[in-house]
A = this chain, B = another copy of it.
Amino acid sequence: MQISTDQIRLFNTYHEAHHKRQFEYLASELAENGLDVESLLEKISHFQVAIPSWALGTGGTRFGRFSMSGEPGNLTEKIKDIGILHQLTRSAGAVSLHIPWDIPEYPEEIKELADAYGIVFDAVNSNTFQDQPGQASSYKYGSLCATEPTVRSQAIEHNKSVIDHGIALGSKSLTVWLSDGSNFPGQLNFRKALQRTQQSLQEIYAYMPSDWKMYIEYKPYEPNFYSTVIQDWGTSHLLAQACGDRAYCLVDLGHHLPNTNIEQIVATLLWKGKLGGFHFNDSKYGDDDLTVGSIKPYQLFLIFNELVFGMENNEGHNPPLAWMIDASHNIKDPLEDLMQSLEAIRLAYAQALIVNHERLEHARDINDVTLCQEIMQAAYRTDLRPLLQEARLRTGGAIEPISFYREANIREQLTAKRGITSVATGL
Protein backbone atom coordinates (compact mmCIF):
# COMPACT_ATOMS: atom_id res chain seq x y z
CA MET A 1 0.00 0.00 0.00
CA GLN A 2 1.44 3.29 -1.06
CA ILE A 3 0.08 6.42 0.51
CA SER A 4 0.07 9.25 -1.96
CA THR A 5 2.09 12.32 -1.15
CA ASP A 6 -0.92 14.43 -1.97
CA GLN A 7 -3.00 12.70 0.61
CA ILE A 8 -0.47 13.54 3.30
CA ARG A 9 -0.15 17.09 2.07
CA LEU A 10 -3.89 17.55 2.17
CA PHE A 11 -4.04 16.20 5.69
CA ASN A 12 -1.30 18.52 6.80
CA THR A 13 -3.06 21.49 5.27
CA TYR A 14 -5.91 20.97 7.66
CA HIS A 15 -3.63 20.89 10.69
CA GLU A 16 -1.04 23.37 9.59
CA ALA A 17 -2.49 26.56 10.97
CA HIS A 18 -2.72 25.24 14.47
CA HIS A 19 0.64 23.59 14.20
CA LYS A 20 2.29 26.74 12.96
CA ARG A 21 1.05 28.73 15.89
CA GLN A 22 2.39 26.14 18.29
CA PHE A 23 5.66 25.80 16.48
CA GLU A 24 6.27 29.50 16.29
CA TYR A 25 5.67 29.90 19.97
CA LEU A 26 8.04 27.04 20.77
CA ALA A 27 10.67 28.23 18.31
CA SER A 28 10.72 31.67 19.84
CA GLU A 29 11.00 30.18 23.33
CA LEU A 30 13.87 27.96 22.26
CA ALA A 31 15.63 30.79 20.47
CA GLU A 32 15.31 32.89 23.57
CA ASN A 33 17.22 30.17 25.39
CA GLY A 34 19.97 30.42 22.81
CA LEU A 35 19.05 27.31 20.87
CA ASP A 36 19.42 27.02 17.11
CA VAL A 37 16.03 25.74 16.04
CA GLU A 38 17.09 24.92 12.49
CA SER A 39 19.92 22.80 13.73
CA LEU A 40 17.59 21.01 16.13
CA LEU A 41 15.18 20.28 13.30
CA GLU A 42 17.95 18.89 11.18
CA LYS A 43 19.24 16.59 13.89
CA ILE A 44 15.77 15.34 14.69
CA SER A 45 15.00 14.73 11.04
CA HIS A 46 18.13 12.68 10.63
CA PHE A 47 17.34 10.45 13.55
CA GLN A 48 16.13 7.17 12.06
CA VAL A 49 15.13 4.03 13.89
CA ALA A 50 15.04 0.53 12.49
CA ILE A 51 11.85 -1.50 12.65
CA PRO A 52 12.32 -5.23 13.17
CA SER A 53 10.61 -7.30 10.52
CA TRP A 54 8.73 -9.33 13.13
CA ALA A 55 7.19 -6.35 14.87
CA LEU A 56 4.53 -5.72 12.27
CA GLY A 57 2.32 -8.52 13.53
CA THR A 58 0.75 -8.88 16.95
CA GLY A 59 2.95 -10.45 19.55
CA GLY A 60 1.96 -13.02 22.06
CA THR A 61 2.77 -14.61 25.36
CA ARG A 62 2.86 -18.26 26.39
CA PHE A 63 -0.92 -17.99 26.78
CA GLY A 64 -1.32 -17.29 23.11
CA ARG A 65 -1.65 -14.43 20.73
CA PHE A 66 -4.63 -12.28 20.01
CA SER A 67 -4.17 -11.57 16.32
CA MET A 68 -5.56 -8.56 14.61
CA SER A 69 -6.67 -8.28 11.02
CA GLY A 70 -4.62 -7.27 8.03
CA GLU A 71 -1.29 -8.51 9.38
CA PRO A 72 1.49 -8.75 6.80
CA GLY A 73 1.77 -12.33 5.63
CA ASN A 74 5.24 -12.14 4.13
CA LEU A 75 8.37 -10.05 3.98
CA THR A 76 7.15 -7.95 1.10
CA GLU A 77 4.09 -6.93 3.05
CA LYS A 78 6.21 -6.22 6.10
CA ILE A 79 8.44 -3.90 4.13
CA LYS A 80 5.30 -2.20 2.88
CA ASP A 81 4.10 -1.74 6.44
CA ILE A 82 7.39 -0.15 7.38
CA GLY A 83 6.98 1.95 4.28
CA ILE A 84 3.72 3.27 5.67
CA LEU A 85 5.39 4.03 8.98
CA HIS A 86 8.23 5.81 7.29
CA GLN A 87 6.01 7.78 4.97
CA LEU A 88 3.95 9.06 7.86
CA THR A 89 6.69 9.62 10.44
CA ARG A 90 9.83 10.01 8.33
CA SER A 91 11.69 8.34 11.16
CA ALA A 92 11.51 4.63 10.37
CA GLY A 93 13.99 4.53 7.52
CA ALA A 94 15.47 1.12 8.29
CA VAL A 95 14.46 -2.47 8.72
CA SER A 96 16.11 -5.13 10.83
CA LEU A 97 15.53 -8.65 9.55
CA HIS A 98 15.06 -11.63 11.75
CA ILE A 99 16.23 -14.91 10.28
CA PRO A 100 14.65 -17.44 9.77
CA TRP A 101 11.34 -15.66 10.28
CA ASP A 102 11.95 -13.45 7.30
CA ILE A 103 14.31 -15.01 4.83
CA PRO A 104 14.19 -12.96 1.64
CA GLU A 105 13.60 -15.28 -1.28
CA TYR A 106 14.54 -12.69 -3.85
CA PRO A 107 16.91 -10.28 -2.12
CA GLU A 108 17.18 -7.97 -5.08
CA GLU A 109 13.43 -7.46 -5.28
CA ILE A 110 13.19 -6.85 -1.57
CA LYS A 111 16.05 -4.38 -1.77
CA GLU A 112 14.33 -2.53 -4.56
CA LEU A 113 11.09 -2.42 -2.67
CA ALA A 114 12.80 -1.12 0.46
CA ASP A 115 14.69 1.35 -1.63
CA ALA A 116 11.48 2.68 -3.07
CA TYR A 117 10.36 3.49 0.43
CA GLY A 118 13.70 4.95 1.43
CA ILE A 119 14.35 2.08 3.78
CA VAL A 120 17.82 0.62 4.39
CA PHE A 121 18.74 -2.73 5.87
CA ASP A 122 20.10 -2.42 9.36
CA ALA A 123 21.50 -5.23 11.53
CA VAL A 124 20.34 -8.75 10.76
CA ASN A 125 19.30 -10.93 13.68
CA SER A 126 19.92 -14.62 14.13
CA ASN A 127 17.60 -16.89 16.04
CA THR A 128 18.94 -19.85 17.96
CA PHE A 129 16.40 -19.59 20.74
CA GLN A 130 13.77 -21.60 18.93
CA ASP A 131 13.81 -24.89 17.09
CA GLN A 132 12.78 -24.67 13.46
CA PRO A 133 10.88 -27.48 11.77
CA GLY A 134 13.26 -30.03 10.34
CA GLN A 135 16.25 -28.78 12.27
CA ALA A 136 18.82 -31.50 12.94
CA SER A 137 19.67 -30.63 16.54
CA SER A 138 17.60 -28.96 19.21
CA TYR A 139 18.42 -25.81 21.16
CA LYS A 140 16.61 -27.17 24.18
CA TYR A 141 19.83 -26.99 26.20
CA GLY A 142 21.35 -23.93 24.58
CA SER A 143 22.92 -23.05 21.25
CA LEU A 144 26.30 -21.29 21.16
CA CYS A 145 26.99 -22.52 24.69
CA ALA A 146 25.72 -26.08 24.21
CA THR A 147 27.76 -28.98 25.50
CA GLU A 148 27.05 -30.90 22.29
CA PRO A 149 29.49 -29.82 19.55
CA THR A 150 26.93 -30.58 16.84
CA VAL A 151 24.48 -28.18 18.41
CA ARG A 152 27.08 -25.45 18.56
CA SER A 153 28.10 -26.07 14.96
CA GLN A 154 24.53 -25.84 13.81
CA ALA A 155 24.08 -22.57 15.68
CA ILE A 156 27.30 -21.16 14.29
CA GLU A 157 26.36 -22.18 10.76
CA HIS A 158 22.98 -20.54 11.20
CA ASN A 159 24.67 -17.28 12.18
CA LYS A 160 26.92 -17.51 9.16
CA SER A 161 23.94 -17.97 6.88
CA VAL A 162 22.31 -14.95 8.49
CA ILE A 163 25.41 -12.96 7.61
CA ASP A 164 25.10 -14.22 4.04
CA HIS A 165 21.52 -13.07 3.85
CA GLY A 166 22.59 -9.73 5.28
CA ILE A 167 25.32 -9.30 2.71
CA ALA A 168 22.84 -9.88 -0.07
CA LEU A 169 20.66 -7.07 1.28
CA GLY A 170 23.34 -4.58 2.15
CA SER A 171 23.34 -5.02 5.90
CA LYS A 172 26.57 -4.29 7.70
CA SER A 173 26.04 -5.86 11.10
CA LEU A 174 24.85 -8.92 12.94
CA THR A 175 22.97 -8.90 16.22
CA VAL A 176 23.32 -11.97 18.37
CA TRP A 177 20.81 -12.53 21.09
CA LEU A 178 20.88 -15.78 22.98
CA SER A 179 18.46 -17.37 25.38
CA ASP A 180 21.23 -19.75 26.35
CA GLY A 181 21.41 -20.42 30.04
CA SER A 182 20.11 -22.79 32.63
CA ASN A 183 16.86 -23.37 34.46
CA PHE A 184 18.30 -24.85 37.63
CA PRO A 185 21.28 -24.38 39.90
CA GLY A 186 24.03 -26.81 39.01
CA GLN A 187 22.76 -27.46 35.49
CA LEU A 188 25.49 -25.47 33.82
CA ASN A 189 29.18 -25.08 34.39
CA PHE A 190 29.19 -21.29 34.17
CA ARG A 191 32.79 -20.99 33.13
CA LYS A 192 32.72 -23.65 30.46
CA ALA A 193 29.44 -22.34 29.08
CA LEU A 194 30.95 -18.89 28.78
CA GLN A 195 34.10 -20.25 27.18
CA ARG A 196 32.10 -22.20 24.63
CA THR A 197 30.01 -19.14 23.88
CA GLN A 198 33.14 -17.11 23.39
CA GLN A 199 34.59 -19.64 20.97
CA SER A 200 31.35 -19.77 19.02
CA LEU A 201 31.15 -16.01 18.79
CA GLN A 202 34.77 -15.79 17.69
CA GLU A 203 34.06 -18.20 14.89
CA ILE A 204 31.07 -16.18 13.76
CA TYR A 205 33.05 -12.97 14.08
CA ALA A 206 35.79 -14.40 11.88
CA TYR A 207 33.23 -15.13 9.19
CA MET A 208 31.96 -11.56 9.01
CA PRO A 209 33.17 -9.32 6.17
CA SER A 210 35.75 -6.83 7.37
CA ASP A 211 33.30 -3.92 7.23
CA TRP A 212 30.75 -5.68 9.42
CA LYS A 213 30.08 -5.23 13.11
CA MET A 214 28.81 -7.69 15.65
CA TYR A 215 26.41 -6.65 18.41
CA ILE A 216 26.29 -8.89 21.45
CA GLU A 217 23.13 -8.59 23.50
CA TYR A 218 22.92 -9.35 27.21
CA LYS A 219 19.96 -10.22 29.39
CA PRO A 220 19.78 -11.27 33.01
CA TYR A 221 16.89 -13.69 32.74
CA GLU A 222 14.24 -15.31 30.67
CA PRO A 223 10.99 -16.79 31.97
CA ASN A 224 11.74 -20.09 33.75
CA PHE A 225 15.46 -19.41 33.86
CA TYR A 226 17.91 -19.56 36.69
CA SER A 227 20.82 -18.12 34.71
CA THR A 228 21.64 -16.73 31.29
CA VAL A 229 25.10 -17.06 29.82
CA ILE A 230 25.43 -13.35 29.02
CA GLN A 231 23.75 -11.94 32.06
CA ASP A 232 24.95 -8.34 32.00
CA TRP A 233 26.89 -5.70 30.11
CA GLY A 234 30.08 -6.74 31.91
CA THR A 235 29.86 -10.22 30.41
CA SER A 236 28.89 -8.86 27.01
CA HIS A 237 31.88 -6.54 27.22
CA LEU A 238 34.27 -9.41 28.04
CA LEU A 239 33.00 -11.28 24.99
CA ALA A 240 33.23 -8.26 22.73
CA GLN A 241 36.81 -7.69 23.85
CA ALA A 242 37.61 -11.33 23.13
CA CYS A 243 36.09 -11.18 19.65
CA GLY A 244 37.74 -8.04 18.35
CA ASP A 245 37.48 -4.38 17.54
CA ARG A 246 34.28 -4.68 15.59
CA ALA A 247 32.38 -6.50 18.31
CA TYR A 248 30.20 -4.32 20.52
CA CYS A 249 27.69 -4.53 23.31
CA LEU A 250 24.02 -4.06 22.57
CA VAL A 251 21.77 -2.51 25.18
CA ASP A 252 18.10 -3.48 25.21
CA LEU A 253 16.16 -1.34 27.66
CA GLY A 254 14.19 -4.31 28.94
CA HIS A 255 17.19 -6.51 29.68
CA HIS A 256 18.08 -5.40 33.16
CA LEU A 257 17.39 -6.30 36.74
CA PRO A 258 14.94 -4.11 38.68
CA ASN A 259 16.20 -0.56 39.29
CA THR A 260 19.33 -0.82 37.15
CA ASN A 261 20.83 2.54 36.28
CA ILE A 262 20.87 1.99 32.52
CA GLU A 263 21.93 5.50 31.62
CA GLN A 264 25.16 4.94 33.49
CA ILE A 265 25.85 1.73 31.57
CA VAL A 266 25.33 3.69 28.37
CA ALA A 267 27.80 6.31 29.53
CA THR A 268 30.42 3.72 30.47
CA LEU A 269 30.17 1.80 27.22
CA LEU A 270 30.31 4.97 25.14
CA TRP A 271 33.43 6.03 27.00
CA LYS A 272 35.04 2.71 26.14
CA GLY A 273 33.84 2.91 22.52
CA LYS A 274 31.99 -0.36 22.90
CA LEU A 275 28.33 0.55 22.57
CA GLY A 276 27.09 -0.89 19.30
CA GLY A 277 23.34 -0.91 19.30
CA PHE A 278 20.25 0.01 21.17
CA HIS A 279 16.91 -1.72 21.44
CA PHE A 280 14.06 0.52 22.51
CA ASN A 281 11.04 -0.55 24.51
CA ASP A 282 9.62 0.04 27.96
CA SER A 283 8.56 -2.08 30.89
CA LYS A 284 7.17 -1.97 34.36
CA TYR A 285 8.11 -5.38 35.74
CA GLY A 286 10.33 -7.48 33.51
CA ASP A 287 11.20 -7.56 29.83
CA ASP A 288 7.74 -6.36 28.97
CA ASP A 289 8.44 -5.02 25.49
CA LEU A 290 5.91 -2.25 25.84
CA THR A 291 5.66 0.88 23.73
CA VAL A 292 8.74 3.07 24.10
CA GLY A 293 8.21 5.80 26.66
CA SER A 294 4.92 4.41 27.88
CA ILE A 295 6.11 3.68 31.43
CA LYS A 296 9.32 5.55 32.25
CA PRO A 297 9.67 8.49 29.88
CA TYR A 298 12.04 10.36 32.17
CA GLN A 299 14.48 7.46 32.20
CA LEU A 300 14.36 7.48 28.40
CA PHE A 301 15.28 11.15 28.43
CA LEU A 302 18.17 10.49 30.83
CA ILE A 303 19.47 7.77 28.55
CA PHE A 304 19.29 10.07 25.55
CA ASN A 305 21.11 12.67 27.54
CA GLU A 306 24.02 10.23 27.87
CA LEU A 307 23.80 9.25 24.23
CA VAL A 308 23.92 12.84 23.05
CA PHE A 309 26.81 13.67 25.36
CA GLY A 310 28.66 10.50 24.45
CA MET A 311 28.36 10.96 20.71
CA GLU A 312 29.33 14.60 20.86
CA ASN A 313 32.32 13.88 23.08
CA ASN A 314 33.47 10.75 21.37
CA GLU A 315 36.91 10.17 22.81
CA GLY A 316 36.32 6.41 22.77
CA HIS A 317 35.69 6.52 19.01
CA ASN A 318 32.37 4.81 19.41
CA PRO A 319 30.82 4.17 15.99
CA PRO A 320 27.33 5.47 15.16
CA LEU A 321 24.75 3.37 16.94
CA ALA A 322 22.24 0.95 15.49
CA TRP A 323 18.86 2.04 16.80
CA MET A 324 16.00 -0.39 16.79
CA ILE A 325 12.56 -0.68 18.35
CA ASP A 326 12.23 -4.02 20.07
CA ALA A 327 8.72 -4.06 21.40
CA SER A 328 5.85 -6.50 21.23
CA HIS A 329 2.45 -5.28 20.15
CA ASN A 330 -0.01 -7.56 21.82
CA ILE A 331 -3.19 -5.57 22.11
CA LYS A 332 -2.67 -2.47 20.01
CA ASP A 333 -2.51 -2.21 16.26
CA PRO A 334 1.24 -2.75 15.66
CA LEU A 335 1.49 0.21 13.30
CA GLU A 336 -0.15 2.58 15.76
CA ASP A 337 2.00 1.19 18.54
CA LEU A 338 5.15 1.74 16.50
CA MET A 339 4.12 5.30 15.70
CA GLN A 340 3.76 5.95 19.41
CA SER A 341 7.21 4.48 19.99
CA LEU A 342 8.79 6.51 17.23
CA GLU A 343 7.27 9.68 18.66
CA ALA A 344 8.51 8.89 22.17
CA ILE A 345 12.04 8.23 20.92
CA ARG A 346 12.29 11.44 18.96
CA LEU A 347 10.76 13.35 21.84
CA ALA A 348 13.37 12.09 24.29
CA TYR A 349 16.09 12.82 21.76
CA ALA A 350 14.83 16.35 21.27
CA GLN A 351 14.62 16.92 25.03
CA ALA A 352 18.22 15.79 25.37
CA LEU A 353 19.26 18.11 22.57
CA ILE A 354 17.97 21.18 24.38
CA VAL A 355 19.79 20.46 27.63
CA ASN A 356 22.18 23.30 28.17
CA HIS A 357 25.36 21.28 28.58
CA GLU A 358 27.60 24.22 29.24
CA ARG A 359 25.50 25.38 32.16
CA LEU A 360 25.08 21.81 33.32
CA GLU A 361 28.81 21.12 33.38
CA HIS A 362 29.39 24.30 35.29
CA ALA A 363 26.72 23.41 37.86
CA ARG A 364 28.28 19.97 38.20
CA ASP A 365 31.73 21.45 38.70
CA ILE A 366 30.56 23.57 41.59
CA ASN A 367 28.27 20.86 43.00
CA ASP A 368 25.16 22.98 42.59
CA VAL A 369 22.87 19.98 42.78
CA THR A 370 19.67 22.01 42.79
CA LEU A 371 20.69 23.73 39.58
CA CYS A 372 21.68 20.48 37.88
CA GLN A 373 18.19 19.19 38.53
CA GLU A 374 16.59 22.44 37.37
CA ILE A 375 18.48 22.27 34.08
CA MET A 376 17.50 18.68 33.43
CA GLN A 377 13.86 19.19 34.34
CA ALA A 378 13.58 22.41 32.36
CA ALA A 379 14.54 20.55 29.21
CA TYR A 380 12.29 17.61 29.98
CA ARG A 381 9.25 19.68 30.88
CA THR A 382 9.36 21.72 27.71
CA ASP A 383 6.67 20.62 25.31
CA LEU A 384 8.64 19.79 22.18
CA ARG A 385 5.94 18.06 20.19
CA PRO A 386 5.62 20.99 17.74
CA LEU A 387 9.31 20.55 16.93
CA LEU A 388 8.76 16.92 15.96
CA GLN A 389 5.73 17.89 13.91
CA GLU A 390 7.70 20.54 12.08
CA ALA A 391 10.47 18.04 11.35
CA ARG A 392 7.88 15.68 9.88
CA LEU A 393 6.16 18.44 7.96
CA ARG A 394 9.38 19.54 6.32
CA THR A 395 10.40 16.03 5.34
CA GLY A 396 7.04 15.07 3.89
CA GLY A 397 5.52 13.17 6.78
CA ALA A 398 2.20 13.71 8.48
CA ILE A 399 1.86 16.27 11.26
CA GLU A 400 -0.21 13.78 13.22
CA PRO A 401 0.65 10.30 11.94
CA ILE A 402 -1.86 8.35 14.01
CA SER A 403 -4.71 10.68 13.11
CA PHE A 404 -3.80 10.34 9.46
CA TYR A 405 -3.59 6.57 9.78
CA ARG A 406 -7.04 6.41 11.29
CA GLU A 407 -8.71 8.94 9.05
CA ALA A 408 -7.27 7.24 5.99
CA ASN A 409 -8.56 3.86 7.21
CA ILE A 410 -5.24 2.24 6.52
CA ARG A 411 -5.77 -0.82 8.70
CA GLU A 412 -9.13 -1.34 7.05
CA GLN A 413 -7.50 -1.17 3.64
CA LEU A 414 -4.80 -3.62 4.68
CA THR A 415 -7.43 -5.97 6.03
CA ALA A 416 -9.39 -5.74 2.80
CA LYS A 417 -6.28 -6.70 0.89
CA ARG A 418 -4.76 -9.26 3.24
CA GLY A 419 -7.74 -10.65 5.02
CA ILE A 420 -8.78 -10.97 8.60
CA THR A 421 -6.78 -14.01 9.50
CA SER A 422 -3.35 -13.28 8.07
CA VAL A 423 -0.71 -13.94 10.70
CA ALA A 424 2.75 -12.42 10.63
CA THR A 425 5.77 -14.58 11.33
CA GLY A 426 7.49 -13.81 14.61
CA LEU A 427 6.76 -14.34 18.26
CB contact under 8 A between A364 and B61, given known A194-B271, A225-B284, A268-B238: no
User: Which B residues are CB-close (under 8 A) to A64?
Assistant: 130-131
Please report the C-alpha to C-alpha distance between residue A191 and residue B305 in the assembled complex, in whole angstroms. 12
Contact across chains for A294 and B187 when beta carbons are under 8 A apart: no
Report the interface size for chain A: residues with CB under 8 A from the other chain: 107
Mark interface residues in A355-384 (1 if CB within 8 Å of B CB, else 0).
Answer: 000001100111101101111110011110
A222 interface residue (CB < 8 Å to B):
yes
A385: interface (CB < 8 Å): yes
Chain B residue with the shortest CB-CB distance to A366: B147
Q: Which residues on B sit within 8 Å (CB–CB) of A328?
A: 224
A377 to B185, CA, bound (A): 9
Question: Is A153 in contact with chain B by the CB < 8 A criterion?
Answer: no
Most buried by B among A129, A148, A264: A264
Chain B residues with CB under 8 A of A194? 267-268, 271
Is A147 in contact with B285, judged by CB distance below 8 angstroms? no
Q: Would you call A294 and B184 a contact (CB within 8 A)?
A: yes
Chain B residues, Cβ within 8 Å of A330? 183, 224
Q: Are B285 and A259 in contact (CB under 8 A)?
A: yes
- Residue pair A284, B296 in contact (C-beta under 8 Å): no
- Chain B residues with Cβ below 8 Å from A247 are none
Asked whether A271 and B191 contact (CB < 8 A) given A290-B184, A296-B298, A330-B224, the answer is yes
CA distance A382 to B310 in the complex (A): 29
Let me know if A302 is at the binding interface, CB within 8 A.
Answer: yes
Per the bound structure, the CA–CA distance linking A330 and B226 in Å amounts to: 13
Contacts of A258 in B (CB 8 A): 257-259
What residues on B are CB-neighbors of A231 within 8 Å?
261, 264
Q: Tell me the A181-213 residues at the B interface (CB within 8 Å).
A: 183-191, 194-195
Interface stretch among A48-56, A89-97, A168-176, A331-339? Answer: A331-339
Known A-B contacts A227-B261, A330-B183; the reply to A373 vs B340 at CB < 8 A is: yes
Q: Are A285 and B221 in contact (CB under 8 A)?
A: yes
Q: Answer whether residue A395 sits at the interface, using C-beta atoms and an 8 A cutoff.
A: no
Complex contact B232–A288 (CB within 8 A): no
- Chain B residues with Cβ below 8 Å from A377 are 293, 340
